[in-house]
Structure 1
Amino acid sequence: MIYEPAEDSELLLEAALRELKPDDEVIEVGAGSGFVAERLKGKCKCILTTDISPFAAMELRRKGLDVVMTDIAKGIRKKFSLVLFNPPYVELEDELRRGDWLDVAIDGGKKGVKVIKKFLDSLDEIMAERGRAILIASSQNEPDVFDLIDERGFRYEIVGERGLFFEKLFAIKIWKE
């Protein structure tokens, strides 16, 4: 009942490794299996993970990662220099719902941007003044995801792409000037 690492996880890791600085304080939102955080641990000042799923939180703890079980970053009072998120970005059709935590891990809501919107709305609260965020999105979210970023006054740049047979994935770097 935990989202298993896939192409999007690898894309986030690649983008994070290119962006990461040794003095970064990092939060990975919705860390799931811990695939990314586990590989960044020790390469930055500190890393905190969050996940809404109790199963993911247990797995993250088992891997020795600091974790807060929460929705996005609700209740987190610290600001981070690097914020990472591989959100659920597809709209899960009703007939594919299983009624368990995996639905939460993969269902991005209408047009796949409901969870992305919630993340972007919380970004000012968790991203430091000169901080950066890396968000994974899909071509299925276009142009909505870029409009949502613009509407909140953020700047963005696509820093990675991965083509799949039915969509293209983007690693989007987000910041404020």
Structure 2
Amino acid sequence: MSDLADQRGMETAVYQPAEDSKLLADVAVESVDGSDRVLDVGTGSGYVAGRIASATAASVVASDVNPHACRQARDNAREETIPLDVVRGDCTRPFDAETFDAVTFNPPYLPRDEAAERDDWMERALTGGETGREVIESFLDDVARVLTSDGVVFLLVSTLTDIEAVAGYAADRSLAAETAREESFPFERLAVLRITEEH
């Protein structure tokens, strides 16, 4: 297989930057300090992680369960000479406690559509189970463990997923969620939730 064909195959298996990626990156770049250690969960192509690393000089780790995404994120960072550590893993589970000052996540949030369902990496990047919240809830179950005492989470959510239900699930885990920014599109409203531990 040629390098070009291999690249095309990898791109069809990896979520590429879109409006949701840009919104999350914009909020994170404005909020992260250069001295912070940041984890970008579900990094996909590495767009959000790369924006944070290049714009803030923060130390950034990118993670994804998809091996094609990890490879593309590494390749993109190398091409743009962005210092970025890439780890293959499921959400925050591979990481030690109290490691990160900020965690970003653009999760799979579309509710399952059985008529359009495929069994591939792109399906896993887009679909968050029956409600669209299964991956988000799994993430919220563990994310506080990896945060420093004043750490913050920036989580991209959609009205398709029920933003209020996500905030309520976070509250049940002693996490306070507020909307940092939102944008409306023809079929959904996207919001970045700023989530912190309740003290």
Sort the TM-score into its range (normalised by shorter chain): over 0.9
Q: State yes or no: 1:37 paired with 2:36.
A: no
Contact 1:2 1:102 survives alignment (8 Å)? yes
Q: State yes or no: 1:20 paired with 2:37.
A: no
Q: Shift in Å at residue 98 of structure 1?
A: 2.1
Q: State yes or no: 1:167 paired with 2:179.
A: no
Instruction: Tell me what 2:145 maps to.
Output: 125
DSSP 3-state at the match of 1:41: helix
Q: Compared with structure 1, are the counterparts of its residues 13 and 45 closer, same or farther at alpha carbon in structure 2 (3 Å cutoff)?
A: closer
Contact 2:111 2:161 survives alignment (8 Å)? no
Of 80, 92, 107, which aligns to 2:112? 92
Corresponding letter in the other structure for 2:89: T
- RMSD over aligned Cα, in angstroms? 1.2
Corresponding letter in the other structure for 1:99: D
**Which sections of structure 1, spanning at least 5 residues, go unmatched?**
none
Corresponding letter in the other structure for 2:64: D
**Which sections of structure 2, spanning at least 5 residues, go unmatched?**
1-12, 79-83
Distance 2:171 2:126 in 1: 24
DSSP 3-state at the match of 1:110: coil
Structure 1 residues 72-81 or 153-162, which shifts more?
Answer: 72-81
Instruction: Tell me what 1:68 maps to.
Output: 87
Of 142, 146, 161, which aligns to 2:167? 146
Q: Shift in Å at residue 156 of structure 1?
A: 1.6
Distance 1:146 1:23 in 2: 28
Instruction: Tell me what 1:156 maps to.
Output: 177
After superposing on structure 2, the runs of 4+ consecutive aligned residues of structure 1 that deviate more than 6 Å are none
Greater relative CO (CA pairs within 8 A, separation 6+): 1
* Deviations, residues 152-171 of structure 1 (Å, cap 9, x unaligned): 11112101101011110000
Q: Shift in Å at residue 114 of structure 1?
A: 0.2
Corresponding letter in the other structure for 1:88: P
TM-score, normalising length: structure 2 = 0.85
Structure 1 residues 3-12 or 39-48, which shifts more?
Answer: 39-48
Q: Shift in Å at residue 36 of structure 1?
A: 0.9
Q: Shift in Å at residue 45 of structure 1?
A: 3.3
Distance 2:31 2:117 in 1: 35
Aligned length: 177
DSSP 3-state at the match of 1:173: strand
